[in-house]
């Protein structure tokens, strides 16, 4: 592994960037046993299966247009500690470029990749690791091969940080478009701005939430929101506690489609909609047919622990109305409400 300076070049981690980097650097990596104790364990499982569906959908589209054994390459922006490494292994890609602002997270991501290789899990793809704030600098010069372009760019639960300013959004979108081949795909999960604003308008204060998440806007937030820099603090149990920014889908689509990127929006939908589609077995993905089995949890066969009464009343009512049905696959109300806070976007580069 190259040292930090050669991996990242000049280091710029100021403002919100430094807060975000410090937050994710401070989160301790936990094993499966510890993660199962999390209040949002099943929600995180659901998020992982939804991400897996989105990733594999794009990989299948790429392979359908190529010859057998086509070597797919991927750029993972905001890869964190490498939570998607096994998804890339299962997707049988050939090369992965990881980029993240948090140096400790990147070290853990690389270590995780090396462990997977030794176990025989990660040997199918090579990988390189870049520490950089992708909202503030072009990362192409940091590639092992700066002329390389990838088939898929993925940015999961991290793209919203670039909407701190117009300049940062343009830099991040440059990192997406200039590294993506013609016909390649960009997939991202972002905050659901419409849902967040709807909940804010429904409250009398500047914050809202439940037992697993909380969103708080500044008291001096302008009544007319800005397209960039619309900041709020987001807390999600055991995962996130730092500033984020609203991403307005029409603005994102305009910059990617009408701007220099020339990328066609294929779909934008909520994670809840994708989850319901998978639960009903309506996925068109060959990889995901009949495989959405463990997420969400099976109620009431799993032990459920919540601080709020009525968290599973929707499941109880459903079971009571369905003769011969003894259990239902679902999340608690608080987890469903948190899941509604996100949406997924898929774009295809057409030139």
Q: Provide the annotated binding site for S-adenosyl-L-methionine.
A: 51, 78, 100, 133, 156, 161
Give CA–CA dist 172/153, Å, rounded.
Answer: 11
Q: Is 72 left (phi over 0), alpha (psi -120 to 50) or beta?
A: beta
Annotated binding site for mRNA: 47-48
Give CA–CA dist 65/48, Å, rounded.
Answer: 26
Question: Which own/partner contact pairs does 108-115 have at CB distance under 8 Å and 24+ positions apart?
Answer: 108/29, 108/81, 108/82, 109/79, 109/80, 109/81, 109/82, 109/85, 110/1, 110/82, 112/81, 112/82, 112/85, 113/82, 113/85
Dihedrals phi, psi of 22, to nearest 5 degrees: -65, -40
Which residues fall within 8 angstroms of residue 154, CB to CB, at 6 or more apart? Answer: 55, 74, 75, 76, 77, 84, 186, 187, 188
Annotated binding site: 47-48, 51, 78, 100, 133, 156, 161
CA 268, 270, 275, 276 dihedral sign is: negative
Q: How far is CA 6 from CA 13, 86, 96, 151, 211, in A?
A: 16, 27, 18, 25, 43
Q: How far is CA 186 from CA 74, 263, 271, in A?
A: 10, 9, 17
Give CA–CA dist 311/298, Å, rounded.
Answer: 14
Q: What number of CA atoms fall less than 13 Å from residue 148's CA on the CB side? A: 20
């Amino acid at each position: 592994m190259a040292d930090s300076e050669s991996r990242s070049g000049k280091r710029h981690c100021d403002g919100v960037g430094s807060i975000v980097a410090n937050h994710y650097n401070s989160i301790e990596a936990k094993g499966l046993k510890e993660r199962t104790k999390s209040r949002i364990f099943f929600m995180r499982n659901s998020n992982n299966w939804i991400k897996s569906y989105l990733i594999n959908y794009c990989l299948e589209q790429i392979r359908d247009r190529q010859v057998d054994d086509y070597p797919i390459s991927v750029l993972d922006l905001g890869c964190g500690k490498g939570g998607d490494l096994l998804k890339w292994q299962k997707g049988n890609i050939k090369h992965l470029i990881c980029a993240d602002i948090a140096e400790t997270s990147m070290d853990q991501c690389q270590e995780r990749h090396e462990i997977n290789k030794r176990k025989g899990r990660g040997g199918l793809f090579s990988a390189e690791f870049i520490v950089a704030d992708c909202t503030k600098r072009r990362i192409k010069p940091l590639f092992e091969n700066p002329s390389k372009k990838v088939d898929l760019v993925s940015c999961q639960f991290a793209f919203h940080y670039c909407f701190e300013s117009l300049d940062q959004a343009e830099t991040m979108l440059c990192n997406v478009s200039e590294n993506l081949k013609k016909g390649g795909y960009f997939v991202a999960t972002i905050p659901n701005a419409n849902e967040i604003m709807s909940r804010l308008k429904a409250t009398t204060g500047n914050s809202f939430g439940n037992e697993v998440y909380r969103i708080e806007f500044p008291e001096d937030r302008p009544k007319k929101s800005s397209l960039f820099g619309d900041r709020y603090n987001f807390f999600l149990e055991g995962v996130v506690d730092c500033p984020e920014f609203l991403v307005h889908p029409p603005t994102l689509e305009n910059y990617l489609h009408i701007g220099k990127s020339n990328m066609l929006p294929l779909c934008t939908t909520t994670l809840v909609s994708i989850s319901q589609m998978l639960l009903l077995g309506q996925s068109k993905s060959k990889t995901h047919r009949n495989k959405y089995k463990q997420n969400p949890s099976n109620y009431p066969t799993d032990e459920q622990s919540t601080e709020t009464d009525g968290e599973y009343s929707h499941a109880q009512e459903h079971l009571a109305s369905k003769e011969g049905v003894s259990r239902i696959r679902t999340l608690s109300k608080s987890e469903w409400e948190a899941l509604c806070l996100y949406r997924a976007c898929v774009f295809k580069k057409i030139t």
